[in-house]
Amino acid sequence: MAAIKQTFFQECEEQLAELETGLLAIESGETDEDTVNAVFRAVHSIKGGAGAFGLEDLVRFAHTFETTLDLVRSGQIQPDAGLIKLMLRSSDTLADLVRYSRDGGDKDDARVSQLHDELTRAADPNAVAAETKPAKKQPKNAARVPQPEPEPVEEPETSPEDDFVPITISFDDLLGGGGGETQDDGQQVYKIWFKPKPELYAKANDAIKLLREISALGDADIACDISEVPLLGELDPEGAYLSWNIRLATTEPEAKIREVFEFVEFDCDLTVEAEPTPDPDFEFVPEPIVPVDQRADEAGEGPLIPDAVLAKIAEIASAEPAKAMTAANSQAQPAQAAAQTTIRVDLDRVDRLIDLVGELVINQSMLTQRVTEAGIARLSDVAVGLDDLEQLTREIQDSVMAIRAQPVRPIFQRMSRVVREVADMTGKSVRLVTEGENCEVDKTVIERLADPLTHMIRNAIDHGLEKPEERVKAGKPEQGVVRMSAAHRSGRVIIEVSDDGAGINRARVKEIAIKKGVIEAGVQLSDGEIDDLIFAPGFSTASTVSDVSGRGVGMDVVKRSIQALGGRISISSKPGKGTVFTLSLPLTLAVLDGMVVTVAGQTLVVPLTAIVETLQPKASDVHGLGERAKVIAIRGSFIPLIDVGNKLGYREEEADPINSVAIMVESENRAQSALMVDGIIGQQQVVIKSLETNYGQVFGVAAATILGDGRVAVILDVDAIVAGNRSDTAKADVANRKRNAA
Amino acid sequence: MAATVKLPPVLDITAAAPLAAELMVARGKDISVDGSKVEKIGAQCIQVLLSAVSTWGHDGMEFELARPSPVLVERLGIAGLEPANFSARNA
């Protein structure tokens, strides 16, 4: 049961995404039937599932929301800007309720009931009969059947093929008084055909329960059709093979019968027909058949079909939609299936596969090493075979990684909600522009991006964008723009969050940094360095802790979470033009291309993405700076030289730069540093094994890996080492100055 | 010698696959399925039992639903079935 509930919540997430996409599409003017239907279906599915699990709050809210949407769908109310905004807010609240039902926690009852009222009001502006179920179900135009065409009556305007639902109308119902009449005792007999689909059971509904409810409505004669049940060998125990033909004599209206199936409407095939009772006085005299147009001419002014018959058609048509919808649904589903065949796989299984492929990569590189050690010629069959194996292994690895890759779209969508909320709170008018939503990134990366991105968006609106009047004064449009884009660039994904606000107020940032003791007064900083100060721990530019950005976390937390993902964050700001935050993230957290180096007898891996170049320092290029610091002159600029062995505590004394290799690395603020190592072994793809999960965090070490010879090597955290060096130097500098002053 | 399979009290959707597996093991011999303990049964387990009945019939073996509990009889009734639907006789 828990597993089924889990699936329900997963599906809810999908439906909510669908809902939001649809609403945003409607907002941008796409009010075609498909979009509106998709939105309606999303809410309806959530309601259905929630009903099955007895999530009352969710059902109630979804129902109200659905009622309003239904009126939009049927064209009875027009989605104006106000209503769309209301629906977007309702979609947010629906998402909250889903999450509340799943995770517990706080629920904003006031907000829910307020939206509830607003939705009800929106649904009932001209006292539209929204509450009675049959009216609610009434499809578009059912009440005004247009072209006189006795049979079948087509539902007009259901334009796309898969939504076209012919409705069969019996002549018995149209002509004469006998058809569809109730029996003498007020009972009407209905013929019900009900065939569950596997989804019905998968959503924890049971046919027996539904049948029991039907039986409770009156005198039911239930016949089970077992003809489709296969032999045990071919049976899917969780499949759906049974169907039922029910003859129900009841005084209840047909709507009551349909209500029983309301929550499973999309998960079963269902027909409900009133059984006609023959009228003994009725005599059917066929008219001579005349071509329709001719007859219309003859009839002159009069309508082709009398109003009474039209009304009857409308009545029957209105009773048909559930059947029609089922038909539409069963038609639509194969179409969808053809477009995208997917299976749900437990993430654990994928991860196990990824782990195994990782082992395969390690094993393959071990094998290569053994072959090399055995002195087998490069061109021998064995070596060539191994090359092929390596190629294959890489392909397998890429394919496996692709399984975990997901488009960033959902997370971008979630941000549109953040934008709406923050814009409301701050009274600013904001437009969110997104680009590259289809860019794919590892699932874990995506999941862990939500918080940092939320915070960055909040900051961009709260601190970045000016107030509307200030914008107008500055000659900008009143509405601010926050832009989010994602793109693949050289094996990494680059996500940019930018605003067209005032840019960073550097004088103020510096002032605050000094006040908060982040930097010493009088320190000379470049513009870039000042901008970077906002990433410093404990830094917040807002003079008051605002409701929006100041929730106890600053940009330093954002930076740390990005770094924890193996990513980098940088900032660039132009006064008056706005600020751009750039995140550079690895596509996957499982492998990386690295340079294998030796330091003090240890083997280390330096991520290739950080490396700019490698060189052998010349004695003339190396200069001392202060007491211990050294710099190297390269192409006219001085770059700090960092001894990795010393920083990681492998050796006390600094290595001699002349006998070392310098690896030029670029850290997140594009500053370069040179890491000194003893030698380079080669370049290799390594499988990342988390140190945090298996041991604990270690300074300067991002993770570990297993090399081809079976040894464990640590993967260097370049940014941490560079930052560590900078603060060491700064401390030494301060100590020096204090000593000099004393 | 007929095999006996005791139906567990709860035969909901999660019980369908284990039940099918248990019955599969017993295939090839006459079988008596004891329904005396059943307190809850869903449509999918009914499907499994119906499938077993036709499988046994197909194999020319006997299938018998023994001592169905009152709940079981009632549920089968709702589904438009009766205990007699759950027997395959060796003709």
Q: Which fold has domain A408-586?
A: Heat Shock Protein 90 (3.30.565)
B61 interfaces chain A, CB cutoff of 8 Å? no
> In this structure, is residue B79 part of a structural domain?
yes
Q: Does A260 touch chain B (CB under 8 A)?
A: no
Residue B23 lies in a domain: yes
From residue A588, how far is each of A354, A358, A716 by CA, in Å?
Answer: 11, 13, 17
Number of domains in chain B: 1
The pLDDT, as a whole number, for residue A125 is 59
Domain membership of residue B70 as a residue range: 3-86
Mean local confidence (pLDDT), A513-518: 81
Fold exhibited by the domain A591-741: SH3 type barrels. (2.30.30)
ipTM given for this complex: 0.93
Binary contact (A226, B48; C-beta < 8 A) = no
What is the distance of C-alpha A591 from the center of its chain? 24
Any idea which of A194-198, A283-287, A458-462, A659-663 has the lowest mean pLDDT? A283-287
Amino acid A287: pLDDT: 55
Contact present, A494 and A487 (Cβ < 8 Å): yes
The closest alpha carbon to A251, from A270, A269, A274, A271, belongs to A274
**How many Cβ atoms sit within 10 Å of the Cβ of residue B7?**
25
Chain A CB within 8 Å of residue B17 CB:
yes
pLDDT in tens, A321-358: 444 444 444 444 444 444 557 788 888 888 888 888 88
CB-based burial label for A349 (10 Å; 0-12, 13-18, 19+): exposed
Q: Which amino acid is at A339?
A: A
> B91 lies in a domain?
no
What mean pLDDT comes out for the span A528-557?
A: 64
With respect to residue B9, please indicate whether it lies within any of the assigned structural domains.
yes
Q: In chain A, what residues touch B81 (CB-CB under 8 Å)?
A: 224, 226
**Residues in chain B, how many?**
91
Does the residue B39 lie in any domain?
Answer: yes
Question: If you write DSSP's letter for every residue of A472-522 in order, what string do you get?
Answer: HHTT--SSEEEEEEEEEETTEEEEEEEE-S----HHHHHHHHHHTTSS-TT
* Chain B residue whose CA is closest to A223: B80
pLDDT in tens, B22-74: 998 888 888 999 999 998 898 989 999 999 999 998 888 889 888 889 889 88
Q: CB distance B43–A242 less than 8 Å?
A: yes
Tokens of residue A489, six digits:
């660039």
Instruction: Find, among A130, A126, A100, the residue nearest to A112 by Cα.
Output: A100
Percent of chain B with pLDDT over 90: 16
On whether the pTM is more than 0.90, the answer is no
Query: How far out from the chain centre does Cα A720 lie?
Result: 32
A554 versus A683: the higher-pLDDT residue is A683
Instruction: Please say whether the beta carbons of A419 and A460 come within 8 A.
Output: no
Is it the case that residue A597 has pLDDT exceeding 90?
A: yes
The pLDDT of residue A484 is: 93
CATH number given to A2-131:
1.20.120.160
Q: What is the DSSP letter of A462?
A: I
Q: Per residue in A479-509, pLDDT tens?
A: 899 999 998 876 678 999 999 988 888 888 8
Q: Determine, yes or no, domain membership for B27.
A: yes
**Residue A317 confidence (pLDDT):** 57
Give Cα separations from B22 to A235, A622, B6, B31, B52 (angstroms): 13, 78, 10, 12, 11
The pair of structure tokens assigned to A564 is: 């924890």
CATH number of domain containing B81:
3.30.750.24
Q: What percent of chain A has pLDDT over 90?
A: 6
| DSSP per position, A100-162 | HHHH-----HHHHHHHHHHHHHHH-TT----SSHHHHHPPTTTTS--S---SSEE-TT--SGG
User: Residue B34: inside a domain, yes or no?
Assistant: yes
| CB proximity B74 to A under 8 Å | no
- Chain A contact for B38, CB < 8 A? no
Residue A214, min C-alpha distance to chain B (Å): 10
Which of A209, A217, A229, A260 to mutate to test binding with chain B, by most B CBs within 10 Å of its CB?
A229
Instruction: Report chain A's mean pLDDT, rounded to a whole number.
Output: 77
Structural domain contains residue B61: yes
Task: Spell out the alpha helix ranges (H) of A599-717.
Answer: 644-647, 691-694
Q: Cβ of A193 under 8 Å from any chain B Cβ?
A: no
- Chain A neighbors of B27, CB-CB under 8 A: 232
Residue A136 CB neighbour total at 10 angstroms: 18
- B/e letters for A47-86, b = 16+ CB within 10 Å, e = fewer, are bbbbbbbebeebbbbbbbbbbbbbbbbbebbebeeebbeb
Inform me whether the pLDDT recorded for A225 exceeds 60.
yes
Residue in B51, B55, B59 to test binding to A, most A beta-carbons within 10 Å: B51
Non-local CB neighbours of A389 within 8 Å, separated by 6+ positions = A364, A367
* Per-residue tokens: A514: 């000094």
* pLDDT-derived band at B1, boundaries 50, 70, 90: low
Among the ranges given (A267-271, A568-572, A722-726), the one the predictor scored with the smallest mean pLDDT: A722-726
Residue B12 above 50 pLDDT? yes
Q: Is B13 on the interface with A (CB under 8 A)?
A: yes
Q: Which residues of B touch A217 (CB under 8 A)?
A: none
Chain B residue with Cα closest to A242: B47
